[in-house]
Chains A and B, each alone.
Chain A
Amino acid sequence: MPGSITSDIIKPPAPPRGGGYGGGGSDGRGASRRASMTGLMVLLAATTMAFAAFTSAFVVRRGISNDWVALRLPPIVWANTGVLLASSLLLELARRSLKSGRRTAFNRYWTAGTVLGTLFLLGQAFAWRQLNAAGIFVASNPSSSFFYLLTAAHGLHILGGLTALVYVDVQALSLRLGPSKRTAVDVSALFWHFVDGLWLYLMALFLVWG
């Protein structure tokens, strides 16, 4: 029975041809996978542009007036960064496991990555609470405005990514993650890595320019 643990030990599934991208033409096998990857790249391009616009606004706003007060990052943000990096690592280990047919390992790693991702989001909410407690709100200072704005925009993307991660997790844990869902795994993981990288960029922005 495909997808069951015992049959994987006895006979792992054959790897997809051409890395999963198959032959040419819209009727070739792998057209759907290719289309999903292209769709992901397009989405990432749009997200990049949105954050480029935010960055541009950040740089301009910081430069044009003298009311910018450097924001001290709430300490939990460092822990959150570590958690997010760890979750990306776990998802990548999950993908490697899946490629070599180790389903159980995949389930464990992927679930762990999803849990850590959720923890990141909760940690961000806690960071907001810490700022609130220190009397720093959205309109307190342009630097805080941008902090809330950028973490909120990033958080929304994390939420979207988490939805995909949870979907894949549910499919995997209920033993419904067949080869046709392989693309969903890759697209979700790649999106998550991107959002992780985006967070590192935002941290750099806060630390260097904040």
Chain B
Amino acid sequence: MSSPVVHAHHAPQGFIRRWIFSLDHKVIGIQYYFLALFSVLVGMSLSLLMRFHMVHPDAKVSWFAHLWPTAAQGGIMTPELYLSLMTMHGTIMVFFVLTTAPQSGFGNYFLPIQIGAEDIAFPVLNMLSFWTTFIALVVMVAAFFVQGGPPLSGWTGYPPLSGIGPLAGPGEGLGQTLWIVSIAIFCGASLMGAINFIATLIDLRCQGMSLMRLPLTCWTWFVTAILGLLGFAVLLAAGVLLILDRSAGTSFFIPAGLMVSDQILSHKGGSPLLWQHLFWFFGHPEVYIAILPGMGVTSQILATFARKAVFGYRAMVYAILSIGFLGFLVWGHHMFMSGMSPYSAMAFSVLTMAIGVPSAIKTFNWIGTLWGGKIHYTTAMMFALGFVSLFITGGLSGIFLGQPALDLYFHDTYFVVGHFHMIMGVAAIFGMFAGTFYWFPKMFGRMPNETLGKIHFYITFLGVYAIFTPMHYLGIAGNPRRYSDFTNFDFLGKLLPVHNFMTQAAYGTAAIQLVFFINLFWSMKYGKKAPINPWNATTLEWTVPSPPPFDNFGGQHPVVNHGPYEYSVPGAPRDFIMQTDPVDVAHAE
């Protein structure tokens, strides 16, 4: 019998070793998950403050004045404060929620188990990657509490605004510096995670687990890791250049002769466009990082609860790879209004349309998976179905934005805000909810409450459509984004009732998230004890106890004989064949 794979480690003893500085990928996955949960609460609170302000821009709120004596004098939120909240909302949501939970949360927990490995490739590096992410979050949150407050240059941090220091306005001093430092730390953490995921998937698969037998979740975690690896390195480089512009007097991004606050700056010759290119070269793969794991989870869940193999597994794999590859070629579609040559715009536009093809293949294959299946409407399934719905809605508006002629109008309007919220702020989140309900029994050894889950699902589903669909209409009507106050403009005054509606919907949807949190924490302690395979699913995580032992397979080395989605195979004794079942259980070729 060969020696254990990467290292021999015994079950850790002691609270600190088991729960704080754990080397166990499962504990680290849960740590990331709770980091994302905390971050989503912060991000959601910020968005509620923003939505409140948009319909009550002159409201005097006493505790605003307590929290922000300069930025909200007399309790009235200044435009600068609004923009700071907006910046931090976007940054925290994109980085600390959408880039952590689906990939580092679920991926860390389930990638090694689904491929039959006893741990991730480099456990110490994994532990470091979580704590580095944690430090990045601490630095980001610190920006709220420093002199001048958090930055107001948007999650995209465009210079010159972000590159010239406190002269640019409140939040552009220490707040902006902390923002850049936090993102830089996050880039490092992301790289550590990518090293682990890629090495684990390539080298630590168990016997029989060929690439084409991998669950689609593993494929998405793999491609997402590659996207993160290549993208975050570029963001880190851009961040370094920005810090140098701010603190060392260089002019990478700051042009000559810039006049700010009645002062002519001494920078010369830099280009703000350079930042845009570097940022969006990262920024576009980043949004695929946010959505791909949700796609993998959706495929997994649809197959499980339709009792049918994923339609067109091979096409799904190629689609994931294509989305990953093409994702690096379309960054210019965020810059159609930057003055680029129409020919460049055409090239980026064609490539953006091209990405619609693998995305559509995936969507049709999800529908094909459901077609003729025996559907079980569990909460996980509802969220997976919701993901498909929201992905279509959000994706369709992207096609409009990908046309330079249309983007001429839509750029910087609420149409864009509606698009990316649908696809990131909702579809991706639904992917996380779906994953939570699907894997909850395995992670916590108890079943989540289905009734609470369904209530949460239905109201959230209706709520998010209510919040974000009107944004498309607002965009068409010409409502600009990143404005803190619409009451000064006649043509926008007519649209205020729409904003009011969206704000009310936002309050309601935010409130119902309480049901999710109650369900989560109550079920963790008091839920019905979960069996090994409550969903009669086929992949390897359902062959081990709930929750799994510290080395996943109890010292055994699983041998895989089947593909990942052998449901309802004719001639088989049950309506599912597990990946580790013996070869001679009847199976289709």
- A residues engaging B (CB < 8 A)? 24-29, 31-32, 34-36, 38-39, 42-43, 45-54, 56-57, 60-61, 64-68, 138-139, 142, 145, 149, 153
Contact = CB atoms under 8 A, between A and B. Distances in A.
A35 B122 CA distance: 9
A139 B243 CA distance: 13
B249 A139 contact: yes
A35 to B, nearest CB: 4
Interface stretch (B38-46, B265-273, B388-396, B480-488): B265-273
Contacts of B244: 138, 145, 149
Nearest to B269: A65
Contacts of B5: 26-27, 31-32
5 contacts: A34-B202, A38-B198, A52-B234, A60-B271, A142-B251
Contact of A65 (B115, B268, B557): B268
Contacts of A50: 233-234, 236-237
Contacts of A43: 191, 195
Contacts of B16: none
B230 A49 contact: yes
Contacts of B202: 34-35, 38
Contact of A149 (B196, B204, B241): B241
A3 to B, nearest CB: 19
A32 B240 contact: no
A27 B233 contact: no
Max chain B Cβ within 10 angstroms of own Cβ: one of A34, A50, A68, A149: A50
A36 B204 CA distance: 11
B6 interface: yes
Interface of B: 2-7, 115-118, 121-122, 191, 194-196, 198-200, 202-207, 229-234, 236-238, 240-241, 244, 248-252, 256, 268-271, 274, 277-278, 281, 557
A47 B187 CA distance: 12
Contacts of A28: 2
Contacts of A68: 269
Contact of B248 (A32, A57, A64, A139): A139
Nearest to A34: B203
Contacts of A42: 194-195, 198-199, 229
B480 to A, nearest CB: 29
A31 to B, nearest CB: 5
A46 B277 CA distance: 18
Given A26-B116, A50-B234, A65-B268, A145 B204 contact: no
A38 to B, nearest CB: 4
A49 B234 contact: yes
Max chain A Cβ within 10 angstroms of own Cβ: one of B232, B250, B251: B250
B122 A39 contact: yes
A50 B190 CA distance: 14
B240 A149 contact: yes
A65 B238 CA distance: 19
Nearest to B557: A27
Max chain A Cβ within 10 angstroms of own Cβ: one of B199, B252, B278: B199
Contacts of B250: 138-139, 142, 145
B237 A25 contact: no
Contacts of B196: 39
Contacts of A39: 121-122, 195-196, 198-199
Given A43-B195, A138-B250, 8 more contacts: A31-B5, A35-B199, A39-B199, A42-B199, A53-B281, A61-B252, A139-B248, A142-B251
A24 B203 CA distance: 9
Contact of A25 (B7, B200, B207, B277): B207
A35 B2 contact: no
Contacts of A51: 237
B156 to A, nearest CB: 16
A187 B482 CA distance: 48
B335 to A, nearest CB: 14
Nearest to A48: B233
Max chain B Cβ within 10 angstroms of own Cβ: one of A25, A26, A38: A26
Contacts of A48: 233
Contact of B6 (A32, A57, A60): A32
Contacts of A56: 277-278
Contacts of B270: 61, 65, 142
B203 A53 contact: no
B557 A53 contact: no
A24 B199 contact: no
Contact of A57 (B232, B233, B278): B278
B191 to A, nearest CB: 5
B237 A31 contact: no
A60 B269 CA distance: 11
Nearest to A23: B2
Contacts of B234: 49-50, 52-53
Nearest to B121: A35
B274 A61 contact: yes
Contacts of B233: 46-50, 53
Nearest to B268: A67
A66 B237 CA distance: 24
B205 A26 contact: yes
Nearest to B112: A26
Nearest to B4: A27
Nearest to A66: B269
Contacts of B191: 43, 46
A25 B4 CA distance: 11
A27 B8 CA distance: 12
A26 B559 CA distance: 11
A196 B269 CA distance: 32
Max chain A Cβ within 10 angstroms of own Cβ: one of B115, B237, B557: B237
Contacts of B117: 26
A46 B2 contact: no
Contact of A138 (B240, B248, B256): B248
B534 to A, nearest CB: 27
Contacts of A149: 240-241, 244
Contacts of B206: 25-27
